[in-house]
Structure 1
């Protein structure tokens, strides 16, 4: 999530990518894998994310309790913000190892993301996807062997609204470098345009990115804020991936935002009907005028906000729809 968003409206068209058929190259024994547009855990059970984001990079002392609390409220997964050292303090390999261990203790699937890439090309000082790969290679020792529990989200919102046409090649190259460095994890890639893909760059190039992965084990992540303020925009975008048999998750979304009012009801209903994962933004600690995106006040599980109550306890919410990964 970032506090800076495009005000441009989106016109979302049907996907043109050809359906992908056949068995995935990844072996179920190694960890999570993608098959025919769906995510499966190491036991071969389909896994649908129902979780939240937690900003470890800014609140590392809150992580242990936050993971316990989101699990207690029913989440089956958590997306954890890490720093790669360009804009925020680099998360060390020992920290990564501790986060993974705590996720496992709480029986949560751990989606780890490098946040410094946010808005590259428009945000001053943002990291490149290549720098994000450098970070993952640097903490490889904490991740290899954790493929059953960890998904690697290469870089958060990698490209703002400038030069976003480079997203496709840069994403393919990042995936290839991780594979050549021995990573067999399921990889997650965020859309450009501050994650919202109003240009349809990710949607139109997802097939080529997926097929460039030697493991055929990449999941696409769309962030839904003000660009997705109507039901038709939400359903058209998500259905395009489903129809193309390409794996998609809503990696971030809220019930309100400064760039428009997202249609969270349609996001959650469509995610449930289409078996698409979602990870709401965010547990607690938001600032810069978007404090309304906190799910709890002051990291207190007993103080749910209206957004927190909606995503955990509302229709198509986490409590009603979350299923723990079978590896636990």
Structure 2
């Protein structure tokens, strides 16, 4: 027995040692805060390895998310600090992120209005609410629409972004969209596009923030609809200069009236931008029931296959751009919040919903725009008042007004009035299907027999910047009110369609009401 015990002791001790080592490993692995193995420096000091921060990065024309996968921003513009529209944003975050399933929002800010309103002032709260749900927030300063800042304004803009850059440098879901739609349309892009953007970019980077920075296209963000080529585009002219100096820079184009009938132009534009290894998104496209609906189909036909980000304008529904057809028209007015498809989506609201709920079929009926897209044809939209200037959805040529005198109105409460004293009128860009036949109807009257017709007409072009051709006209010369009708066919090739009201006789007043355009 004694011998047997002595012979077995080494074996017993060996098993005991193995058991203790195994228990030690189990104990270490059960601890929650296990750190990577430390390594000695050349001087013998023990240091921990650096923690790899999960961030968004831009590689050529693609955005790579914190998870290592390609990220395509899909979302909506929302009310931010000092934005003039009052609807609160924070309560809608679950609807935006979980019901509509948007992965990005563009936070419309207007700090210059801080003495005028106090809407949505809790930027920290808005950003936390969204980024806690892994939704990107693009902070944008909206004050520069159609212009560039002066040197003192640029200094103020840079200081504003410096504070934000310091505050949010550890939150990769906060992006910076430097200024909204800088510069006028039509002319070549000025050098300020580059210098102003670079000044702010450098400020953000010097603050230690490497988050993504977004630069809007020149010319109200539209790059002239890519009419006139590279010279009209800040992105194509100066984008490579910025990306050669700074990392994580991307670019944004806005799609409105200059992109109507623009399927091929947008295709060419996106191809030319991405060929320069520049990351691009559509930071705004309208969701209204006017020509914005046609432009939205152009956007979707091009961005889906090319994996280009897209953000609609706007969540609130205060202006003509509405995601829903009931209530106030905001995205929060959907009639079903369960996650099932709502029944009151607008034409573009439906596209945005499909985009995040299975995808948009770019060959499907959802991307065929309505046969006619024109707005405020009865002059009742907006908040009309007697003698107010005609501005809602119409371009006023100078003197056009609203009139609610019963004898001068054919339908509803208001008509359009072109007063005596000068020639004048109003007009709007509309959409018609190429090659389709239409019937146009309107009521009109003059205050006395007119020496030359007062008219409602439509002009078209077949090439961008080409000569206009008038394709139909309803002419009124009588003093008595009358309804007139004409049938016409739109050209098979269209680059633009413009509807106008015009009175040439300076000695008479002219009233027009109840316009109708119906596809035959």
Flag the 1:233–1:42 CA change in 2: closer, same or farther, 3 A. Answer: same
Distance in 1, matches of 2:214 and 2:294, equals 23
Flag the 1:96–1:40 CA change in 2: closer, same or farther, 3 A. Answer: same
RMSD (CA atoms)? 3.2
Distance in 2, matches of 1:37 and 1:228, equals 22
1:275 Cα offset (Å): 1.0
Partner of 2:257: 226
The answer to whether the aligner puts 1:97 opposite 2:159 as a matched pair is no
The answer to whether the aligner puts 1:310 opposite 2:351 as a matched pair is yes
* SS class of match (1:48): coil
The answer to whether the aligner puts 1:183 opposite 2:209 as a matched pair is yes
Partner of 1:19: none
1:104 Cα offset (Å): 2.2
Distance in 1, matches of 2:280 and 2:52, equals 19
Partner of 1:16: none
1:158 Cα offset (Å): 2.2
Partner of 1:42: 66
Unaligned regions of 5+ residues in structure 1, if any? 1-26, 323-328
Distance in 2, matches of 1:101 and 1:128, equals 29
1:249 Cα offset (Å): 0.4
Flag the 1:92–1:175 CA change in 2: closer, same or farther, 3 A. Answer: farther
Contact 1:186/1:217 (8 A) holds in 2 = yes
Distance in 1, matches of 2:267 and 2:115, equals 35
Larger radius of gyration: 2
Q: Whose helix fraction is larger, Structure 1's or Structure 2's?
A: 1
Partner of 2:104: 77
Q: What is the TM-score of this pair, normalised by structure 2?
A: 0.50
Flag the 1:91–1:41 CA change in 2: closer, same or farther, 3 A. Answer: farther
Contact 2:158/2:199 (8 A) holds in 1 = no
Contact 2:107/2:139 (8 A) holds in 1 = yes
Flag the 1:132–1:77 CA change in 2: closer, same or farther, 3 A. Answer: same
Flag the 1:63–1:86 CA change in 2: closer, same or farther, 3 A. Answer: closer
1:121 Cα offset (Å): 4.7
Distance in 2, matches of 1:69 and 1:310, equals 17
Flag the 1:251–1:181 CA change in 2: closer, same or farther, 3 A. Answer: same
> CA offsets, 1:75-126, max 9 Å, x none?
111111112326886989972211111102333121221111222259xx9x
Distance in 2, matches of 1:254 and 1:82, equals 18
The answer to whether the aligner puts 1:270 opposite 2:302 as a matched pair is yes
Flag the 1:190–1:88 CA change in 2: closer, same or farther, 3 A. Answer: farther
**Pairing partner for 1:67 from 85, 93, 97:** 93
Distance in 1, matches of 2:249 and 2:306, equals 18
Contact 2:144/2:181 (8 A) holds in 1 = yes
> CA offsets, 1:242-295, max 9 Å, x none?
2221100000012558787753223113211111111111112333xxx1x121
Distance in 1, matches of 2:310 and 2:298, equals 12
Flag the 1:94–1:259 CA change in 2: closer, same or farther, 3 A. Answer: closer
Distance in 2, matches of 1:130 and 1:66, equals 34
- Larger RCO: 1 or 2 (CA < 8 Å, sep 6+): 1
How many residues are treated as equivalent by the alignment?
284
Contact 1:252/1:279 (8 A) holds in 2 = yes
Partner of 2:323: 295
Contact 1:188/1:218 (8 A) holds in 2 = yes
1:189 Cα offset (Å): 0.7
Contact 1:234/1:266 (8 A) holds in 2 = yes
Partner of 1:326: none
Partner of 1:204: 237
Unaligned regions of 5+ residues in structure 2, if any? 1-50, 225-231, 336-343, 361-520
Q: Tell me which moved more, 97-106 or 86-95.
A: 86-95
Flag the 1:258–1:301 CA change in 2: closer, same or farther, 3 A. Answer: closer
Q: What is the TM-score of this pair, normalised by structure 1?
A: 0.76
* SS class of match (2:89): helix
* SS class of match (1:45): coil
Distance in 1, matches of 2:91 and 2:289, equals 27
Distance in 1, matches of 2:254 and 2:359, equals 20
Distance in 2, matches of 1:159 and 1:130, equals 18
1:320 Cα offset (Å): 2.4
